[in-house]
Structure formats: structure tokens, C-alpha cells
Amino acid sequence: MTARIGVVTFPGSLDDRDTRRAIRLAGAEPVALWHKDKDLHQVDAVVLPGGFSYGDYLRAGAISRFSPVMETVIEQAKAGLPVLGICNGFQILTEAHLLPGGMLGNDHLHFICRDQKLRVENADTAWTSDYTAGQEIHIPLKNMDGRYVADRYTLDKLEAEGRVVFRYLDFNPNGSLSDIAGITNEAGNVVGLMPHPEHAVEPLIGSGRTDGLPFFTSILKKLVNV
Amino acid sequence: MSRTPLDTVEHAAATPDVELPWAELGLKKDEYERIVEILGRRPTGAELAMYSVMWSEHCSYKSSKVHLRQFGEKAPESDAMLVGIGENAGVVDVGQGYAVTFKVESHNHPSYVEPYQGAATGVGGIVRDIIAMGARPVAVVDPLRFGAADHPDTKRVLPGVVAGIGGYGNCLGLPNIGGEVVFDSCYQGNPLVNAGAIGVMRHEDIHLAKASGAGNKVILYGARTGGDGIGGASILASETFDTASDSASGTGKPSKRPAVQVGDPFQEKLLIECTLEAFKEKLVVGIQDLGAAGLSCATSELASNGSGGMRVTLDDVPLRDSTLSPEEILMSESQERMCAVVEPEKVDRFLEICEKWDVIATVIGEVTDGDRLEIHWHGGKIVDVDPRTVAHEGPVYERPYARPSWQDELQADDANKLPRPASSDELRDHVLKLVASPNQASKKWITSQYDHFVQGNTVLAQPEDSGMIRIDEETGLGVAIATDGNGRYAKLDPYAGAQLALAEAYRNVATTGAKPLAVSDCLNFGSPEDPAVMWQFAEAVRGLADACQQLGTPVTGGNVSLYNQTGEAAIHPTPVVAVLGVIDDVTRRTPVAFQEEGQLLYLLGDTREEFGGSAWSQVIHDHLGGLPPQVDLERERMLAEILISASRDGMIDSAHDLSDGGLIQAVVESALLGGKGARLVVPEGLDAFTFLFSESAGRAVVAVPRSEEVRFNDMCGARGLPVTRVGVVDGDAVQVQGEFQLSLEELRSAHEGTIPALLT
């Protein structure tokens, strides 16, 4: 038996197929979910993939957050369903208030695409248990609106509770506060990050590294052991 | 609304003396007379609008057609060719049941007027051409040329163009894997923004632009039609509209509108997914995208290519602006629209798929069993033409051409006589200046604004010699693409310059381990009304056609962009050539970066004293004169075969083609990308200067693991390719023995600092 992991396609999602591939390569079963369908089709976890849902018009993630599928995702995430938001998915999670804070345009005002060095700060979440805390990894990053911001209180709380999951190392690519690349909710089942682990799952392709694969093996182990 | 009577076909027949603004629409007197002769009466305003855009230089190729025929006449026999010139894009067989479609187009003029939207809609247009063939787009490339790097206007144009390409392509989810960025003051008022795209499909999924089967429905889907880009890509330059400020149906005068279209990449992304889903369910008989000349082009081309006629009700076209006249609707170049021909019983399912993707779709007409294209508006027939006369039987010009009087003088101004570096210090200084010069400097500031990871199949992306995409996960089958063009070479000798552009792109594809298969080109030139420019064009086409024949790589399609000229000053003749290649297993690909210290560096090919049009002559002496490097296509073919074999059999770990900047430029790039230096030894029979800076064609430098040295040398020897050991991968500097050394740190700061310093 393996785990069924859903990947939502919003209009304008771009990395949905890549994310399904990464799930398959990790040994789990990818399930395509559609934004207009509230039914999660008995998946064990959900990934909100990267892209420009609704063209990022209005504000990245602001429209998708109101999709029918998100009603169920929000409800079940609060009940413990593991949810991972990658890039645009992270933006949707903050817009949906499943994660605190929000994303602004990159401080240099350009789209940026690079192989980004990160430090894993928290290896206890549903999506990071196959890493070790303090591990340094390279994951591709590509976004226009990646600057993580939150008020002082929220930032202090995130730090105090160990909820900063990834931090940019050597170079902050977008002006994110406290070099934050990814965070989790209090329960550790919902994780959002700007870099794209699904583009680092095969040697040779993309960044040519497999540093992103543990995201998908982490969740698989967690789900299959339950 | 119009107070004049609707200019129907009947009305036109009854009012032969009404003067139509044919000249304002860009038609010549004899062209207008020919339309009258074809129709046997004066055209209606709507008919005139259609003919004027379809007979424009951009759509009809009237100046270039007589020369372009050579691409067909001299086309080499190729088993790979599935669809050739004339369709939206050419299609080649890459094996395992896969077909690949690719094309390069220009969006030069709009990108100067409005850099962001001009460049963005250039990407949008080429991508719709790819979808229209039935393929899923898998990558884009962007060959770009700007004015002098330090000119203030370049700081306006370049960042806008780059942001537009990124803004549109990134939002579509297409990895940007290649292209070029060239600066030269000849492009000051005429930047060249060329855009290329590749799509992949199964053989059985190939679709064509034709309307067949009486009773089949014509469906317009995608964005609503607005007043943007009316006549934008045709020769109706904006001044045409200055005198006709109001829109009056029946006069044929379009109102004044911005000629540059505005892109909506989100809409295009939906259009891609929705179209591919309709293809998958076999719902589409024929398909055409709406680009230049909008509905005029789509309806007349679909009907012209098909077996029957077509009847369209223009009132059914969804509009953004309800006050548009029928002429404007026919000429609008609103983006993100497609036109499909669908059998009646499949229409409901087609519309359902569009609804799923929130794409507006409307039946606007049907295929008839006649041979006329009829368009109706408000109950009257406003167009009744033979579609072939609109789409395919436009005027053809034999423009006069003559070798310019200055050509001899230019060629006599020999670059080989320029003062050369007199000491090792000066040589070192020239190297540093070269790698830091805007054309040779790292373009990372630009390419990092493009997504090259999306879709998860990118094997190689710029600054590699060619971009490479995996198309089958199981077998590792992949395709590679490189685009090249050197306007300086082409200015010195357009025939050789076009061949050198092909040779370089061909070499770049082979350097990464892929086998070159086919060619697409974007021919950027000045005004065809200048005999000197027309000579450059004729020579370049002849050179390219001859070279394609010799290399066995047919031209599958492309684009001609003329009138890249401000006043008397034309751009350098700039044929940009894209070569598509195939690789059986992408794990065998060869990168540019040095992989391991201790590997041996070999120079393949002959090095001669060739500096005409070279980067060195430009950077050090600001000079353009003499002759470009010699072309030897048989040598290019042999070199390619060796590079492909060596990559397949694991004999080389990195390779880089030698082109502008010569050997030293290539070695510095490989060293910086790999983070490993090199020790070079000047081979016997060459001086250090020629060794480092010559731009002789047909060369590459490869890194060979010591264990493969004998096998590699034997292979080159057996095939008769000159091979010279020139050094070793080593240390953290690039060192030329007995001359100088430059640390990677110093090289990196010179190479990577230039572009950000100029543009930020």
C-alpha cells in the first residue's frame, strides 16, 4: 500500500505535472485534483503547486484561495491533513490564512530563477522528516513575488516555536525577512516554501541534484507508517 | 454608430465610383487595381481591409518570396521532415513516434515602441503557432539584439524586453533554454527581438490550418476581440492612422489605435490547456491561431487551404468594445485567440472543454461547399472573395538588387592588419577586455529572469551551447536547439555570413551531443526598397539555402523581417538561424563546464589568422572590415560527427564550440562555469595571439579524461580531423604558458560584472 497524494490544478498552475512526477518518483501515488471540485478523492495529503494561478492578477494566490477545492483543503488542513504549498501554493496558503504572513514582490523588482542554497531549520514537520536539522541543500527558486513578510510579533513567534522550516543561505534572493524561505503551522502538517523541491528530484534534470526528493519521501514515510 | 449605409457587396457593385482609402491602408495603386480586377468591382471596405493586411509585406512576403523559394528548391532529402514551409511551423520526426515542431519569428518593431508588451506578445505569437500544429509547447528561446550597451535608450529597451519575455513565458510555464544577446550600435533604433519555440507531439497528433468538410463549424475561442493592434504587424505603420481618427463603417478607415498589442499570458495558458484537451479527444479538423492580420488571416487561410468555402457571421464575434466596425474586427490583432474547425456533432464537447477552462468560445461560421469566403454583418454580405486571392495569391515583387558600392572598400579594410598586442601584458589586457565586453560578458543578469526549470525536463539551458529538453522520461530521448547569427560577419559578406550562422548553430547543437536535423530562420534586414539591402537579403538566402543543402538540414519555416531601418541607416544584415537536433539519450549530453582537474584539453579543427568581423577587432579597435572566417561545411559536418560520437561513447566530459571571441573566450567560459582553471600551451606553428583570438570556424575545444585519450585521438585520426592538445584542466586560474595568467576570481568579476553595471 502506498500513499495517495493530491496535486491541485488551478487555472494557471504550471508545476502540477512536475509535482506529480516527483511524487511518483518518491514512490507515492499522485492524484490530480481540480480547482472546481470540492472533493479531495480520499487523498492522504495535498500539494498546492507552483505557477501563476489566475495570472497572479490582483495578488498572487488571492483568487485561488477562494476556489471550491480550497474550502475542503482549509477545513481538512485544520483537522491535520498534510498540505504542502510550493511557491504559488505557499502564496495561496498565506492568503487562506493556513500560514501566517504574506508575500510581496522581490525587493529587486525582477523575476529571479536560480539554484538556491537553503538550510533546513526544522526536520520535524510532515514534509521534512527525511532531512536533518541544519542540513544545507540546493533547491531551484523562481518567482516574482517571493519576499516573505510578517509583523514583528508573528516573526518572533515563528522563531520561538521553531516554525521557520527553511532559510536562504549565502544570498537572500528576494528580501525576505529573517531570510525566511519556508514556514510551517503550529501543528507541523502545513508547510509552505518559495523554492521548488519538485525541480530537484532527478540527477541531470533541472538543477541536476536530488535535494528536493526528501520532501516527498518524508510525507510518504509518515503516511505509510500511520 | 455609422450613419452611412453599410458597405455591402451589393452596395459596392452599385457604387463603383466611391473612393476607398487604399493608399492609407498601405496598398500601392497597382495593387488596388488588381483587387478591383479580381473582384470585378470595387472592394467593400471590409474586403479592402482584408486585402490590405494580407497583402502587406509581413503577411505576404511579397519582396522576399522570389528568394525564399530556394529553401524549397534546394531542400536536401530528409526523412525527418513531416511538415514543411507554409504551415504555422515546420514539423520533424525525432524518432520513437515523436514529432517536434519549432519556429523562430520576429517582433522587432513593436518591441522598440513598447518593449515589454512588444516582447511579451512576440512570445505569445510563436507559442500559438506551436499549439496550432497540435503540439504541447516545451521550451522557448530568445535571440535578442540591442543598440550599444552603454546607450541610454538601451537601458529603456533591454530591461523592458527581458521583463516582457519573462513575464509572458514564465507565466505560461515554458522553460527558456537558449538564445543570444548581442549589442551593436547598428541596432540602436531597430532592436531585434526574435522569439523561438519548440513543441512536442505524437505523429498522429499533427494538425493543419485548413477548413474542410461542408457543414463543419468555425469556432473562435480565447480572448474577446478589441481595438488593439489593428494593422500592427502589417506595413500599416502608425502614421497611416493619423489621418483617419474616427471610425466610420463603410469608409474602410480604421480608427487610430495603438498599434502594439497587449498580452495576457494567463489567457494564453488557458488556451494552451484547452486546445490540447480538444486535440486529445480528436475534436479538431483544422486550426489556425490569430496573429498578424487577426481574423482576416485566420478565415482566409483556413478557407484557402481547405477544400470548400466558408461563411462567417461577424456579429457573433465576442467583442471587448461594442463600437468596433467590421473592418476593425477583421484587422484587430488582439492576442490569445484561436480559430478551430469542428464537425457539428463534436461542437458541444468542444464548447464544454472551453467552458471547463473558462475560455470563451463562439461558433462564428461554417465551412460551405462553395469556393468563396463570405462574411456577413448586420444581415448584409460585406465580404465575398475567393480566399486564395487574399491568402496566397498576393503580389510578388522582383525587387531590384545590387552589390553596394562600399562592399569592396569594406572588405579591403583588412582586420588582419590591425595592431596586435605587442607584449604578454598587453595580450593579458586584451583577454580581460574581451571577456568583459558587453557581447562576450555573462548574460546571467538577463537569463536569471527567465524560468528554465519549469516542466521538469530541462537538461541544458543557457549559457550552454544549446538548450536541451528531455521528451521521453522512459527512454531519455531529447531535443536540442541553438540559435545563432552574426550581423558583423554578414555585413562583410552576406552569403558567407548566413552560412556561418548556420554553421555555428549546427556546431552548437552537435557540441552538446545532439544530431542536427532541421533549420528555422528569422531573416532580419533593412528596407527591401534599397537595392543594397535587397542584395544582402538575396545573398544571405542563397548562402543559407546552399549551406542547408550541403549539411542536409532542411529549412522547415521561419520568418522575414524587413524595414529594420531608421532613415538611410539599415541594420547589419542579420540572418538568425535556429538548428534543431535530436539526442537518443540525454544522459549522454555534453556540458560546457570543465568537470574534473587533470582532464586534457584538445582543440579540434584548423586555426588560421582570421580576424575580420571578430570580437577582438570590435572590442579593441572598434573595427569592422575585411572578410569573415572561411566556411568549410564538410569540416563542420565531420566535427559534428566526432562531437556526437565522443559524447555518445563517453570520450569527452565537456565541450565548447569556438565562435566569437575565439579559443580564449570559450576556455574562460568553461572554466568559470566549472569553477576549475586551465593551463594552456600555445601549439607549435601558431603565435599566442592567433591561438587565443582567431575566429576560424569549424572548431571546438573538448576536455578528455586521460583514460580516453588514446581512443579519442584514434577516432579523430581515423576520420582525418585535425586535433591538437592545447592544455589541461587545472588550478584556479587560466594560464597561458610563457605569457600570462588570470585568476578565476579576476575573470569572474570582469565577465559577470559588466551587464549588471550597465543596466542597474
DSSP letter string, B581-647? EEES-GGG---SS--STTPEEEEES------TT-HHHHHHH----S-PPPP-HHHHHHHHHHHHHHH
- The helix (H) or strand (E) run that includes residue B535 is helix B531-551
- Burial (Cβ within 10 Å: 0-12, 13-18, ≥19) of residue B741: middle
Cβ contact A204–B451 (<8 Å): no
Cβ contact A144–B173 (<8 Å): no
List all residues 6 or more positions away from B635 whose beta carbon is below 8 Å from its beta carbon.
B605, B606, B697, B698, B721
Catalytic, A196? Answer yes
Cβ contact A12–B269 (<8 Å): yes
Catalytic, B656? Answer no
Give contacts of A12 with chain B, Cβ < 8 Å. Answer: 171, 266, 269-270
Pick the residue from chain B with its C-alpha nearest to A207.
B453
Taking the Cβ of residue A68 and every Cβ of chain B, the question of whether any pair is shorter than 8 Å is answered with: no
pLDDT of residue B239: 31
Cβ contact B265–A52 (<8 Å): yes
Upstream peptide bond of B463 is cis (omega within 30 degrees of 0): yes
Cβ contact B453–A199 (<8 Å): yes
Calpha distance B288→B286 (Å, rounded): 7
Active-site option among A87, A121, A138, A199: A87
pLDDT of residue B212: 81
List all residues 6 or more positions away from B256 whose beta carbon is below 8 Å from its beta carbon.
B241, B242, B244, B245
Q: Is-contact B140 B169, C-beta < 8 A? A: yes
Taking the Cβ of residue A65 and every Cβ of chain B, the question of whether any pair is shorter than 8 Å is answered with: no
Q: Band of the pLDDT at B651, cuts 50, 70, 90? A: very high
pLDDT of residue B244: 32
pLDDT digits (tens, 9 = 90+) for B280-302: 999 999 999 998 889 999 999 88
Give contacts of A51 with chain B, Cβ < 8 Å. Answer: 173
Of the CA atoms within 13 Å of residue B85, those in its CB half-sphere come to 19
SS3 of residue B258 by DSSP: coil
Is the pLDDT reported for residue B306 higher than 90? Answer: no
Cβ contact B456–A110 (<8 Å): no
Calpha distance A64→B17 (Å, rounded): 58
SS3 of residue B44 by DSSP: coil
Calpha distance B285→B278 (Å, rounded): 11
Taking the Cβ of residue A15 and every Cβ of chain B, the question of whether any pair is shorter than 8 Å is answered with: yes
- A21: cell is 512526477
pLDDT digits (tens, 9 = 90+) for B672-712: 999 999 999 999 999 999 999 999 999 999 999 999 999 99
Strand order in the sheet with B176-183: B81-83, B90-95, B98-106, B192-202, B136-146, B176-183
Q: Which of A14, A54, A56 sits opposite B173 (nearest CB)?
A: A14
pLDDT of residue B675: 97
SS3 of residue B404 by DSSP: coil
pLDDT digits (tens, 9 = 90+) for B36-54: 999 999 999 999 999 999 9
Pick the residue from chain B with its C-alpha nearest to A209.
B459
pLDDT digits (tens, 9 = 90+) for B406-440: 999 999 999 999 999 999 999 999 999 999 999 99
User: pLDDT: is B76 or A113 the higher one?
Assistant: A113
Q: Which of A11, A114, A207 sits opposite B357 (nearest CB)?
A: A11
Average pLDDT over residues B262-274: 94
- The helix (H) or strand (E) run that includes residue A30 is strand A29-34
Is the pLDDT reported for residue B195 higher than 60? Answer: yes
Taking the Cβ of residue A112 and every Cβ of chain B, the question of whether any pair is shorter than 8 Å is answered with: yes
Question: Between chain A and chain B, how many beta carbons pairs sit less than 8 Å apart?
Answer: 88
Question: Is the predicted ipTM greater than 0.90, yes or no?
Answer: yes
- The helix (H) or strand (E) run that includes residue B337 is strand B337-342
Bridge pairing between strands B361-368 and B217-222:
antiparallel
Taking the Cβ of residue A82 and every Cβ of chain B, the question of whether any pair is shorter than 8 Å is answered with: no
Instruction: Give the dihedral sign, CA B151/B156/B159/B164.
Output: negative
Active-site option among B67, B107, B207, B452: B107
pLDDT digits (tens, 9 = 90+) for A27-60: 999 999 999 999 999 999 999 999 999 999 989 9
- B274: cell is 484547452
The residue written with cell numbers 489556425 in the block is B288
Calpha distance A135→A138 (Å, rounded): 10
pLDDT of residue B259: 67
pLDDT of residue B708: 97
Annotate B143-191 with three-state secondary structure.
EEEECCCCCHHHHHHHHHHHHHHHHHHHHHCCCEEEEEEEECHHHCCCC
Angle (CA) B152 B622 B630, round 5°: 125
Q: Band of the pLDDT at B346, cuts 50, 70, 90? A: very high
Q: Which of A54, A114, A202 sits opposite B448 (nearest CB)?
A: A114
CB atoms within 10 A of CB B713: 16
Give contacts of B270 with chain A, Cβ < 8 Å. Answer: 11-12
Is the pLDDT reported for residue B258 higher than 60? Answer: no
pLDDT digits (tens, 9 = 90+) for B199-212: 999 999 888 877 78
Taking the Cβ of residue A196 and every Cβ of chain B, the question of whether any pair is shorter than 8 Å is answered with: yes
Predicted TM-score (pTM) of the model is 0.94
pLDDT of residue B234: 54
For chain B, the farthest-separated pair of C-alpha atoms sits apart, in whole angstroms, at 89
Cβ contact B170–A52 (<8 Å): yes
Taking the Cβ of residue B673 and every Cβ of chain A, the question of whether any pair is shorter than 8 Å is answered with: no
**In chain B, % of residues over pLDDT 70:** 96
Residue A219, min C-alpha distance to chain B (Å): 21
Query: Which CATH number does the domain B9-63+208-391 belong to among 3.40.140.10, 3.30.1490.20, 3.90.650.10, 3.40.640.10?
Result: 3.90.650.10
pLDDT digits (tens, 9 = 90+) for A146-187: 999 999 999 999 999 999 999 999 999 999 999 999 999 999
Domain A4-225 is in which class?
alpha beta
Cβ contact A206–B163 (<8 Å): no
Calpha distance B482→B466 (Å, rounded): 5
Active-site option among A121, A138, A198, A199: A198
The residue written with cell numbers 505557499 in the block is A90
pLDDT digits (tens, 9 = 90+) for A106-151: 999 999 999 999 999 999 999 999 999 999 999 999 999 999 999 9
Is the pLDDT reported for residue B585 higher than 50? Answer: yes
Is the pLDDT reported for residue B324 higher than 50? Answer: yes
| Chain CA centroid to CA B524, Å | 10
Cβ contact A51–B173 (<8 Å): yes
Give contacts of B274 with chain A, Cβ < 8 Å. Answer: none
How far, CA to CA in Å, does B84 sit from each of B61, B518, B523, B596, B643?
Answer: 17, 10, 17, 43, 28
Taking the Cβ of residue B358 and every Cβ of chain A, the question of whether any pair is shorter than 8 Å is answered with: yes
Calpha distance B464→B11 (Å, rounded): 61
**Rounded to the nearest 10 degrees, what angle do helices B265-280 and B152-172 cross at?**
40
Calpha distance A19→A6 (Å, rounded): 10
Pick the residue from chain B with its C-alpha nearest to A112.
B449
pLDDT of residue B86: 72
pLDDT of residue B211: 79
Calpha distance B140→B126 (Å, rounded): 9
Taking the Cβ of residue A148 and every Cβ of chain B, the question of whether any pair is shorter than 8 Å is answered with: no
Taking the Cβ of residue A51 and every Cβ of chain B, the question of whether any pair is shorter than 8 Å is answered with: yes
What DSSP character marks residue B394?
-
| Chain CA centroid to CA A104, Å | 16
**Please, what is the average pLDDT of chain A?**
96
Least confident of B9-23, B99-113, B256-270: B256-270
C-alpha gyration radius of chain B = 27
Residue extents of the structural domains in chain B = 9-63+208-391
Q: Band of the pLDDT at B2, cuts 50, 70, 90? A: very low
- The helix (H) or strand (E) run that includes residue B364 is strand B361-368
User: pLDDT: is A98 or B558 the higher one?
Assistant: A98
Taking the Cβ of residue B173 and every Cβ of chain A, the question of whether any pair is shorter than 8 Å is answered with: yes
**Please, what is the average pLDDT of chain B?**
92
Residue B452, min C-alpha distance to chain A (Å): 7
Active-site option among B58, B430, B452, B623: B58
Cβ contact B266–A15 (<8 Å): no
Is the pLDDT reported for residue B237 higher than 60? Answer: no
Q: Band of the pLDDT at B245, cuts 50, 70, 90? A: very low
Give contacts of B586 with chain A, Cβ < 8 Å. Answer: 204
Is the pLDDT reported for residue B554 higher than 50? Answer: yes
Least confident of A84-88, A186-190, B59-63, B232-236: B232-236
Give contacts of B123 with chain A, Cβ < 8 Å. Answer: none
- B163: cell is 521583463
